Structure 1
């Protein structure tokens, strides 16, 4: 619980963690070894969306090495004094700690904006005051943190989604090298081509539920015939994402948006995600954080440690000549083999 904490936030955290034995860390001086731990990041943001002591802690962990959180699992309760910053800060915390070996369950964040209006949709279901929904979800999140029981899947089904062309794509070249390191794994690749996927129509909740029950979607097409069944069958999905203006490509974004109809009947928390992100100049972290927000925080896929392999390569084929790339590829393939669990 780094930084300045209000009485109201302290009360929520107290209720969420009651009956559990805690070690509370407030400053870098208190920071113990954090490998193989269960960690709750309880973060309150200031008016500019900052919590400086938190990022000092993360810096100290980074200085201990890229394995300083290896074997640890974490969730986040985050509160803002405005309507902004909770989502973006949570994504940054997850990205930074994941790069140090921390894993996250699906839906690892409870966020609270200053007026708690982000709970209004939940209020239609629970019929409770907003503050009580906040406390309820925080308590359930900590319970989820404590109750992990994952087992390695024997010969998992791996789905690879991309929308690039092999002739010019450094991202696909990098994936090809990773695939060679994976050897005889059960891998299926799907190319999301131009014009084959229309973005989400934004149906009403009842309409979306209807299509979900029918294993369909308003637009139908390749999403219903190939991509939905492949996602449902897969134990792991690897997203191949070249950096387009610091964002996921439009075609893969459309796939993510259309997955809402599948989300309503399939438990994504039992599926693991990895990604390969290649940027021409910079910004791979922007794309990785967008994947975290869309797939781990929102859709609820499990996020394993070191989920993203990133590289910077502009000219076609340059990715093969990046110093140390073979070592990174080998480690990434080992992480995939070791971390597809449910």
Structure 2
């Protein structure tokens, strides 16, 4: 099966160039799809959404990448996270760094152009070609070692922890759980590129300590992460966000193309999708984790134990566990 191209209906020469280089010299096998979005002045590409509305059964499986352009400095990241969130919920998965974006004057290509000693357009098209290569080469695989990360101060009262316990009943794999609340995790210090590279070369970090010696080592060795992510003001908690910020020392050795990220998200009232999109942006688009199909499960619960009143709890947790076990040995 050849590559399926789902393109915006807006005239966009730059997007055409990106798609051309994305496909160049690559052989695509299986269900592979590239989505080309050309955002208008409101940050939308309604053609793509209309395509999903017209065919509700489309894109229920397969592997995807996203190329996206904007005539301003804004919207590309949010639009990419939104479309990936929708497609992933349908059943599509995405290789690490599945998004290539082009903002006004290609400002986001400044660093790449300097590193490659070329102009911004050439740097962008090189990125598009590499993304095409990643999609062409991508094969869903089973990995070893699931690492569960959480930061619950009262696990006995936590609906998020209770949701995990219900998932746990369905799991038939081994995992390692690490509670990060008491690890005194400090957020990234923002070291210079050279300094961070030095610490990466010696498998350490500016702060050192237990987080570097234990948690980063376990993340490095894991094939998949499961984040227990209660909704804090429509975002990850400070501790959970500090973890991804501190991953830079490992990321300097290379993106996490061989690792999956999963999540359980619980919101008191609404907003689980906001947390999920933040995870997509931080772990998948930025750090390069693989995004498995239906990577997260969510629930609404506020009072302690309220989640157990969810009549669909067993169905949801059982399905999530089965989805997760497709990727873990």
Q: Normalised by the size of structure 1, how large is the TM-score?
A: 0.90
| Alignment CA distance shift 1:158-1:19 (3 Å) | closer
Secondary structure of the corresponding residue to residue 239 of structure 1 = strand
2:197 matched to which residue of 1? 209
1:163 matched to which residue of 2? 151
User: After the TM superposition, which parts of structure 1 deviate over 6 Å for at least 4 consecutive aligned residues?
Assistant: none
2:288 matched to which residue of 1? 300
How far has the Cα of 1:194 moved from its partner? 4.9
Of 158, 161, 176, the residue aligned with 1:172 is 161
1:272–1:340 CA contact under 8 A, matched in 2: no
1:70–1:305 CA contact under 8 A, matched in 2: no
Q: CA RMSD in A?
A: 1.7
2:269 matched to which residue of 1? 281
How far has the Cα of 1:168 moved from its partner? 1.7
Q: Deviation per CA, 1:266-292: give whole Å up to 9, x if none.
A: 551111110000000000000000000
Q: Deviation per CA, 1:219-241: give whole Å up to 9, x if none.
A: 11221121111101111100000
Which stretches in structure 2 are left out of the alignment for 5+ residues?
Answer: 1-6
1:278–1:284 CA contact under 8 A, matched in 2: yes
Instruction: Tell me the distance in 1 between the aligned counterparts of 2:221 and 2:254.
Output: 10
| Alignment CA distance shift 1:51-1:166 (3 Å) | same
Instruction: Tell me the distance in 2 between the aligned counterparts of 1:149 and 1:243.
Output: 32
How far has the Cα of 1:195 moved from its partner? 6.5
Secondary structure of the corresponding residue to residue 70 of structure 1 = coil
Instruction: Tell me the distance in 2 between the aligned counterparts of 1:110 and 1:267.
Output: 15
1:194–1:251 CA contact under 8 A, matched in 2: no
Secondary structure of the corresponding residue to residue 161 of structure 1 = strand
Instruction: Tell me the distance in 2 between the aligned counterparts of 1:8 and 1:272.
Output: 31
- Does residue 71 in structure 1 map to residue 61 in structure 2? yes
Q: Deviation per CA, 1:115-174: give whole Å up to 9, x if none.
A: 101011112210111001111111111121111234324xx2110001012122100000
Of 210, 216, 220, the residue aligned with 1:222 is 210
Secondary structure of the corresponding residue to residue 304 of structure 2 = coil
After superposition, residues 1-342 of structure 1 pair within 5 angstroms as: 1-18=7-24, 37-61=31-55, 63-64=56-57, 68-153=58-143, 156-164=144-152, 165-183=154-172, 185-194=173-182, 196-265=184-253, 267-340=255-328
2:4 matched to which residue of 1? none
Instruction: Tell me the distance in 1 between the aligned counterparts of 2:171 and 2:214.
Output: 24
| Alignment CA distance shift 1:283-1:326 (3 Å) | same
Q: Deviation per CA, 1:32-61: give whole Å up to 9, x if none.
A: xxxx62100111101110111111112334
Q: Normalised by the size of structure 2, how large is the TM-score?
A: 0.93
Instruction: Tell me the distance in 1 between the aligned counterparts of 2:226 and 2:27.
Output: 37
Instruction: Tell me the distance in 1 between the aligned counterparts of 2:189 and 2:69.
Output: 31
